[in-house]
Chains A and B, each alone.
Chain A
Amino acid sequence: MDYLIQILNGVQYGLLLFLLASGLTLIFGIMGVINLAHGSFYMVGAYLALWLTRLTGSLWLALPLGVLAAVALGALLEWALIRRLYARDHLYQVLLTFGLILVFEELRSLLFGNDVHGVPIPPALNFSIPLTETLSYPVYRLFISGVCLALAAAMYLVIRKTRLGMMVRAGNSNREMAQVLGVDIPLVFTFVFALGVALAAFAGMIAAPVSSVFPGMGNQILIICFVVVVIGGIGSITGAMVAALLIGIADTLGKVLLPQFSGMAVYLLMAVVLIWRPRGLFQAT
């Protein structure tokens, strides 16, 4: 039964990774931008949750306000900075987004200091449900999984079923052709980038009550997100979902089964997948 709890934790972690990795893979797949600052947006989300919860007294108010702030931040960064580098080599994007990591870390240090903070679990969800006579599972973690699944479903519907989604996919496969059919590609790019930033920040916000809020939290998760994107196949949302769940479960179970190699499970999985499928599980078309 212990494993059930580990698997639930792994799934929850995986779904959270999916929120991050889907934005990263979309931004790379559609815009061709390598966004090293993606982890920073996760951190920004966590600190927004901290600050806004203190300010408003409730995570339920903090979440929508934080998402709005993240969308605005994403759109502003794309418009002011990222946009200038589309035509340039990836190296410029790497330099810019690496610079953003440093800027966000420094701002974080100035505004919140270097201590570890906690965000309280909202009272309404601060209880556990019993699984067996001796084991129970915290409802807030189930809530995280549920919200991530709902967002994944919403993303699927937007990308698969709406005109906006068709334009995004069309722009992904042939940018020039989409443009001559009237698609405003710069606007689509602003949308995709802001969406990616908002997803990452939202992940940071809902994770804050269980993961705590600490310096460098974005960089830690960035590496894992790139692993997810590479395993899933660059640009593929479905791939990001499958890979995120695999990584979430492998990482959580790895810590239990092979504690002496904890942390290696993820990279072993990546090595095995890439030997089997060098371009990842799902190649985006």
Chain B
Amino acid sequence: MASTTPEAPIIEGRGLHAYYGASHILHGVNLAVGRGETLGLLGRNGMGKTTLIRTLVGLLPPRSGTVRVDGRDMSGAPPHRIARLGIAYVPEGRGIFPNLSVRENLVMAARPGRRGEWNFARVLQAFPALAERLGHGGAQLSGGEQQMLTIARALMTNPELLILDEATEGLAPRISRDIWAIVGAIRASGIATIIVDKNHAAVTAASERCVLLVKGRVVFEGASAQLRAQPEVLRRHLGV
């Protein structure tokens, strides 16, 4: 397998083993994302994509293996310390704060002192729908608006890496297109991304490199173009 591991990655997992209680979910996963790189993370339901992400961001400490962020060993570190190194996470199922207004959802995530182009005004410019709803409670938003809010909130931290887990799940095609357009803009602004999505065609089109997980193991790692040229790999591992 071609090793295209980037130099000086922003985040790097090595030999990650993760468990939920007694069930062994990740079996020695290696994964690295370079600065500004877009990585697609593919795999069928239950293959461990979300578990891998939770391990990287510190929500699930690995049983063994290391997580390095910006070269620093953060294995087992609490999530807020990993977040403060510039890792932002848009989880499956969104996770807005329904008891906070849209404005508060955004403001609480801002990290004064961190440099970067994303501030309150810039985020509202990118998400005009949110600008009209600043006083609303998070729970009053539509599904698409909630997803926009979660992405906007993650951008307020001015991350080096944005992780999107199923950002278009359950959204109407038109809104999914909006989300993909925003992902493109984020990418263009130089922020590295990890994208997990059921729409593998969109993932391989939007990313430079892909990692394919089967039952907690990496079965493919390489350029997205290479994956697009090998539909049989996708067919075998994604059942498409």
A210 within 8 Å of B by Cβ?
A: no
Inter-chain contact B100/A182, CB cutoff 8 Å:
no
CA distance in complex: A167, B153 (Å): 13
CA distance in complex: A167, B139 (Å): 17
B129 within 8 Å of A by Cβ?
A: no
- For A184, what are the chain B residues with a Cβ–Cβ distance below 8 Å? 78, 80
CA distance in complex: A166, B100 (Å): 7
Inter-chain contact A179/B97, CB cutoff 8 Å:
no
Inter-chain contact A177/B108, CB cutoff 8 Å:
no
Q: B110 — nearest CB in chain A belongs to which residue?
A: A163
Given contacts A163-B107, A163-B108, A166-B107, contact A180 B79 (CB under 8 A): yes
Q: Interface stretch among A148-156, A168-176, A198-206?
A: A168-176
Inter-chain contact B79/A176, CB cutoff 8 Å:
yes
Inter-chain contact A181/B100, CB cutoff 8 Å:
no
A253 within 8 Å of B by Cβ?
A: no
Which residues of B85-108 are within 8 A (CB) of A? 87-89, 91, 95, 97-100, 104-105, 107-108
Inter-chain contact B97/A182, CB cutoff 8 Å:
no
A130 within 8 Å of B by Cβ?
A: no
Given contacts A166-B104, A176-B79, contact A182 B109 (CB under 8 A): yes
B157 within 8 Å of A by Cβ?
A: yes
Chain A interface size band reads: 20 to 34
> Interface readout for B59-92 with A: 1 if CB under 8 Å, 0 if not?
1000000000000000000111011100111010
CA distance in complex: A61, B200 (Å): 68
Q: A184 — nearest CB in chain B belongs to which residue?
A: B80
B57 within 8 Å of A by Cβ?
A: yes
A185 within 8 Å of B by Cβ?
A: yes
Inter-chain contact B99/A181, CB cutoff 8 Å:
no
Inter-chain contact B97/A170, CB cutoff 8 Å:
yes
Of the residues B83, B111, B139, contact of A179 by C-beta under 8 Å: B83
Q: B150 — nearest CB in chain A belongs to which residue?
A: A177
CB distance from B160 to the nearest CB of A (A): 13
CB distance from B158 to the nearest CB of A (A): 11
Which residues of A139-195 are within 8 A (CB) of B? 163, 166-167, 169-170, 172-174, 176-186
Q: A284 — nearest CB in chain B belongs to which residue?
A: B99
- For A172, what are the chain B residues with a Cβ–Cβ distance below 8 Å? 99
CB distance from A164 to the nearest CB of B (A): 10
Q: A168 — nearest CB in chain B belongs to which residue?
A: B108
Inter-chain contact A181/B83, CB cutoff 8 Å:
yes
- For B57, what are the chain A residues with a Cβ–Cβ distance below 8 Å? 180
Inter-chain contact B80/A179, CB cutoff 8 Å:
yes
CA distance in complex: A186, B79 (Å): 11
A285 within 8 Å of B by Cβ?
A: yes
Which of the listed residues A166, A174, A181, A284 has the most CB atoms from chain B within 10 Å of its own CB?
A181
Of the residues A166, A179, A285, contact of B79 by C-beta under 8 Å: A179
Given contacts A166-B100, A166-B104, A173-B100, contact A181 B78 (CB under 8 A): no
CA distance in complex: A162, B79 (Å): 23
Would you list 29 pairs from A and B whose C-beta atoms are within 8 A, ordered by A residue?
A: A163-B108, A166-B104, A167-B108, A169-B100, A172-B99, A173-B98, A177-B97, A178-B97, A179-B79, A179-B80, A180-B57, A180-B58, A180-B59, A180-B79, A180-B83, A180-B89, A180-B91, A181-B108, A181-B154, A181-B157, A182-B83, A182-B84, A184-B78, A184-B80, A185-B78, A185-B80, A186-B78, A285-B98, A285-B139
**A-B pairs with the 8 shortest C-beta distances?**
A166-B108, A179-B79, A285-B99, A182-B83, A177-B95, A180-B89, A170-B97, A184-B80
Enumerate chain A interface residues (CB-CB to B < 8 A).
163, 166-167, 169-170, 172-174, 176-186, 284-285
